Structure 1
Amino acid sequence: MSTIHEQAMSYVYQQVLQRLNGHFNRAERTALQLLIQRIVVAAGGMEQVGDYKVLIAHGGGETSSYALAMLRAAQLSIAGRAPRTFHLRVATLRHAGMTEGRLETVNRGYSRLFLHDDPRVELLMVENQEVQPFNHLRPASAVGREISQRNRLMMGHLTSGDCRAMLCNDTYLALGDFYQRASTWHGGVHALVSGDSPRKQSHLLAWLKKTAQGAGVPISKGWPPSLNGLFARMEEWSAGYYRDVYGEHYVAHDNPSSAGHRNLAYIGIADLLGDIDLRASSLLCEFMDYAPDPLGFHFSHPSFSNPLLMAHLRGLQAQSLRELDYEEGVEGFIQQAVPYMRRLQLSEELLAEASTREGRMLSSTSASQFFGLDETQLTCLLFSPFIHHGERLEGYLRQCHPGMLVALPELHKVLQGKPSAEMLQQWAMDTSGLPMPLLQHLYRKRPLAGANGMLRTARATARNTAQAFQLSGR
């Protein structure tokens, strides 16, 4: 980098810092100084801070967006008073629920903070267990979408149609792999920074733990003494869960190893954000130009992770399982979801239209976009007719496909792997969205614990895990 270019960029970064400071109120300025102090102390002093690298997980939500802006302000503030400042790594987990709108919001924030061309900043995206440079225009991985679709289908069937498990578990279970890869890639980092509250993080860990237990995964007592160890344990839970779900069809993946990497420090800043109203902060709303994504996923609350899709699933559930109208199921969900949507500042009008014909079409399109599933396959998932030797198969046919009742004995033969008509095999695969080997595997499986029971147990477990660590980055 030439001296002239270096001076020009230094001026640009000074301008960015001035603009950031212009959006801070007194509480935010105090929080910024405390954050700088924590980073400098963790690095071992101002003389060492130039060799220090921190990681923040950025999912495009308001908390991680705000925390990123604070980190950037801290990085540029130190640069203005010391020869060098810390390095910043920002990593995003790209999952099936990550919309183009959410990625555009993330990229817009990066541009506002001038992160793209700063050599002190790394912008990464982890997708389908692969680390790549962040690029919001890169199409989603076709292989990754197919794997995610299959995972969600299997989870949905094995939890007897539990909507929350189907929508959330696959993304939650990916976190151990995500954090290991993001923290160890190209020499690793020294510390993880997060603005999430200990309560939110402990609920996540408790959910993951109960998910693994529901699949019969052995759970060690106590928590690992380091973040590296905790990430490895989360990955073990995930691998054990999928090993049980898929049985002989399970394919092991290359697991990132934390061996040989330094122990990660944790720099929590949730307490610094406690007195700041993020939704009213001009730093977030004006400078970062943050906008909630009404069609995206919000994993902080499994019951309302995607209100539009959840409303659609509740409508299909009412229609197919409870012999009610689709609209009744949607309206019942809306009554539960509106207070939560107000807290997230999401559009209530979008959800209010969910019970209309146009709203149902939009919901169905969203389900197809995110998961590649049509209404027939979603209804099949909610019924879960194949598990435990097809004990619900007759009821499913009677309710949803009465014309197939005559073929019930032959369908059992199909699922048992006995010689059968190719037409019936194709019908089962088209109706479920799953290949025949996995349908036959489901036929031999008992249901796993669903999210309904897990959520109650996880809340109780979370009270004992509050100090385990702080992480989710959503």
Structure 2
Amino acid sequence: MNASPSQALNDEPLLGELNHYLRADERRAVATIGERLIDAAGGLDRLPDYRLMVAYGGGKDSSYTVAMLRATQLHLSVLHGRTFQLRIANMRHAGVPDAVMANIDRVYRALHLFDDPRVEMLVVDHQQIRPFERHLPFPADVQAMNRFDVLMNGHRTAGDGRPTFCNSCNLAVADFYGRAAWWQGGVDAVVTGDSRKEQKHYFTWIMRLAQRLGLNVDECRRQGFRGLLQALDGVAQSYFVELFGEGFDQQREERRVACGDEHADPAFVSIYDLVSYKVEDHWELITEFLDFRFEELAFSFTESDCANPLLMAHFRGLKAEYVQGRRYNQGIAEYLELAQALMRKKEMPQRLIDLAMAAYADEQGMLARRTLATRFAEQAFGLDEAQLVCMQFAPFVDRGRELSSFVGLCHAQHLGNLDDLHRILAGVHNDPSLSQWLTQVSGLPLPALRSLYAHQRIDFDSDATLIARVRAGDPHKGRISRYDPATGETVVELVSGR
């Protein structure tokens, strides 16, 4: 769509406002991105039909990327009287709190995106794609799917942070790209902040993972982006077979990765070499012009688009209190040690590290965060504290190896029912009252509990399982030392998180 003279006139003052917040090197980057997009489109005459997509999670870094692309769109309109079409796609999952949607809405308003025919803002809730609205209800079926995945991953790994919350979510991100990039005729290109080296590394890692699973990676390699999604679909299917066990065909089918079609073949446009993702370098742009707010659930350690890290810390506290016989706050302190290391590794400014740590500065702060985490777990996933505690014991895997410990420490009234509980989980006994209690205390239906009973807890010291191999390649983990009151010794644990 060519920019009309009146449109270009409207674009100029907004571009001037944006340029006021951009450094000289960022303004040069905008011009360079514009030149690259003209080349990618095949010249100025084809630019108005060129469709570019950017994935927008609602965090600080993706907000900056959206702002830079909007500046580029305005720059080309003012300079040449024509510009590209921009698709902004926002993937939601249960861990995305309302505060993130509020940040997205403020960013869109600051950039004057509403009612601009050259921009489409989409919300992708798994298979449902809708125009952005500030208070768009989150689908109950997607929440239920996310809840089931958290519980199944959590019970197989005893609540280990990254596998519990991120493995299924990362596969859902691949599905999101397949749906958003091909929606209604598709886009010509997808912008990324990853370098070509990072893209190649990720592609190679996925293909090796797929090849080890017996997939035809040669065919995937020939198809580029679509091939990558096809490989990820194969990985996803293997992952969920391993996670759920047999008899969950519908659940696996619901989690397939969309692989696009032959009608579109989006390229990748990297802006890695032109932008800085150190938020300190564009703090005023983010916090003043875009009105991005690092508040409560909109900021959890390394994440500003997801509140799940709050629950990862909460899990560590619950494990310390209920499983290890220590204090909740001791577990939190250990997670804070990991979180600070991850934040520094991501080069987050000291002001954000201080902000994250200040929330846990004293007993009152710890209690307030625990209350917040409890409330968020209930609202986002429909899980109460008893169900979260149950997950930390992983009492059902390995044929209920930890069941007696869990029942004895948390539900002593059922100690006399242990044999019957084992028989129910093994599928050789039926007691409606006890079955209902198992479902209530775990949050899982009986078929899922019986699948857990037949499977082993994931051994992260072995590469025998796909779940263990995925975590082995995940950099978001670290070793922490803790005192074991039962043995009087210091124990070193590898803990993952965000």
Q: The TM-score by the shorter chain falls in which range?
A: 0.7 to 0.9
Deviation, 1:129, is: 2.0
* Paired residues of 2:94 and 2:143 also in contact (CA < 8 A): yes
**Which residue matches 1:55?**
53
Deviation, 1:10, is: 4.3
Matched, 1:249 2:256: no
The answer to which of 80-89 and 47-56 deviates more is 80-89
* Paired residues of 2:102 and 2:134 also in contact (CA < 8 A): yes
| Cα distance in 2 for residues equivalent to 1:210 and 1:444 | 29
**Which residue matches 1:88?**
86
SS of the counterpart of 1:291?
coil
**Which residue matches 2:182?**
184
Deviation track 1:404-427 (CA, whole Å, cap 9, x = no partner) reads 221111001111222332111011
SS of the counterpart of 2:54?
strand
**Which residue matches 2:12?**
14
Q: 1:112 to 1:326 in 2, by over 3 A?
A: same
Residue 357 of structure 2 is aligned with which of 348, 356, 363? 348
1:75-474 alignment to 2 at 5 Å? 75-197=73-195, 217-218=213-214, 224-225=221-222, 226-246=224-244, 247-251=246-250, 252-253=253-254, 256-274=258-276, 278-296=280-298, 306-341=308-343, 343=348, 345=352, 346-353=355-362, 356-448=366-458, 454-458=470-474
One-letter identity of the residue aligned with 1:363: A
The answer to which of 328-337 and 56-65 deviates more is 328-337
SS of the counterpart of 2:191?
strand
The answer to which of 388-397 and 279-288 deviates more is 279-288
Deviation track 1:248-295 (CA, whole Å, cap 9, x = no partner) reads 123113764422223221111111114975554432232212223542
* Paired residues of 1:156 and 1:166 also in contact (CA < 8 A): yes
| Cα distance in 2 for residues equivalent to 1:255 and 1:111 | 32
Deviation, 1:428, is: 0.4
**Which residue matches 1:42?**
40
* Paired residues of 2:317 and 2:332 also in contact (CA < 8 A): yes
* Paired residues of 1:56 and 1:91 also in contact (CA < 8 A): yes
Greater relative contact order, per chain length (Cα 8 Å cut-off, separation 6+): 1
One-letter identity of the residue aligned with 1:350: A
The answer to which of 171-180 and 283-292 deviates more is 283-292
Deviation track 1:134-170 (CA, whole Å, cap 9, x = no partner) reads 1121121111111110111011112233222112122
**Which residue matches 1:468?**
none
Q: 1:422 to 1:200 in 2, by over 3 A?
A: farther
One-letter identity of the residue aligned with 2:409: Q
Deviation track 1:45-102 (CA, whole Å, cap 9, x = no partner) reads 1121111100000001222111111111111111123342110000010011111111
| Cα distance in 2 for residues equivalent to 1:211 and 1:382 | 29
Percent identity reads: 34
User: TM-score, normalised on structure 2?
Assistant: 0.82
Q: 1:197 to 1:82 in 2, by over 3 A?
A: same
Q: How many residues were matched structurally? A: 455
| Cα distance in 1 for residues equivalent to 2:473 and 2:12 | 50
**Which residue matches 2:492?**
none
The answer to which of 170-179 and 415-424 deviates more is 415-424
One-letter identity of the residue aligned with 1:164: R
| Cα distance in 1 for residues equivalent to 2:301 and 2:48 | 35
Deviation, 1:12, is: 2.8
Runs of 5+ consecutive residues of structure 2 not aligned to the other structure: 461-466, 477-497
The answer to which of 355-364 and 243-252 deviates more is 355-364
* Paired residues of 1:318 and 1:324 also in contact (CA < 8 A): yes
State the superposition RMSD in angstroms. 3.2
One-letter identity of the residue aligned with 1:171: C
